Amino acid sequence: MMTHTDRHFRYFLRLISRRVMLYTEMVTTGSLVYGHQYQRLDYHESEHPLGLQLGGSEPGDLARCAAIAEDRGYDEINLNVGCPSDRVQNGEFGACLMAQPQRVADGVAAMRARVRLPVSVKTRIGIDNMDDYADLCRFIETVSAGGCNTFIIHARKAWLQGLSPRQNRDVPPLDYARVHRIKQDYPHLAIIINGGIGSLDQAAEQLQYVDGAMIGRAVCNHPYLLADADRMLFGDIRQSPTRREVLNAFIQYAEEQLAQGVSLHRMTRHILGLFQGQAGARAWRRHLSERAGRDDAGLEVLSEASKLVRAA
């Protein structure tokens, strides 16, 4: 989800759902400890509940970053042990850490010793030829001994060599049954399933077997699918916002951000899918894509685009 779940996208999603848990894009420990890029932790107060996803493997750095996140008011720390990209592997974090469960456990333990925030781990069901169920169990047992009680498991293995990150999202087959089995064998742990979930109905079906479901790419393409999440998954009886209400609220946000020097394109690139499936959706996307990137683009671009769609 790199480049997707920035603060503008998260604010936009919070206008659609009040209850779903949101996560940042992965922030490396190096960017905070050595690069002092603390602006990457900026967020709007309305984004809570909000978790910071960290990429790193050195326990001391992880603990220091967790402390920074706690001070900034985050609700959870999530350690990424699932990203298969070459850049991440070169930094010795991400999915390659599945081969070093004790190192992951040490990182979790260091963070738990430093902060009161819950620490979760996002992982795969396996990597390369280390993909037996016993390998996954060994990883879960070792890392949980370090203090992790929540695992977000992408139900695909990752090939660290031979497949691109994009291919690793689609080519390895999904194995939901393996994640379900983990929950059965480790009922004391919170198990959240990820991978290939494209609707709230699919998420609700998974909740028969696990404790939670994470939706990623589908929300990027069709963010309004979260509109019924509060009612369906959390029992919230309040009425869901309409697309038009979401847009009007986002326009107010965009006005504030433009005044602070944020370009319109940085915000509108996240809302292209708001009217997916509605009359005029293609014209909406085209107008924003063509006009929002101009140096002088302002709120008039959003106003013009909104007139091209006919949706409640």
Catalytic annotation, pick one of 83, 96, 148, 220? 83
Residues 211/57/25/111 CA torsion (nearest 10 deg): 60
Cis-peptide into 49, omega within 30 deg: yes
- Secondary structure in 3-state letters for the chain: CCCCCCHHHHHHHHHHCCCCCEECCCEEHHHHHCCCCHHHHCCCHHHCCEEEEEECCCHHHHHHHHHHHHHHCCCEEEEEECCCCHHHHHCCCHHHHHHCHHHHHHHHHHHHHHCCCCEEEEEECCECCECCHHHHHHHHHHHHHCCCCEEEEECCCECCCCCCHHHHCCCCCCCHHHHHHHHHHCCCCEEEEECCCCCHHHHHHHCCCCCEEECCHHHHHCHHHHHHHHHHHHCCCCCCCCHHHHHHHHHHHHHHHHHCCCCHHHHHCCCCCCCCCCECHHHHHHHHHHHCCCCCCCHHHHHHHHCCCECC
> Does 220 participate in catalysis according to the annotation?
no
Judge contact between 267 and 288, C-beta under 8 A: no
Q: Which active-site residues does the annotation give?
A: 83
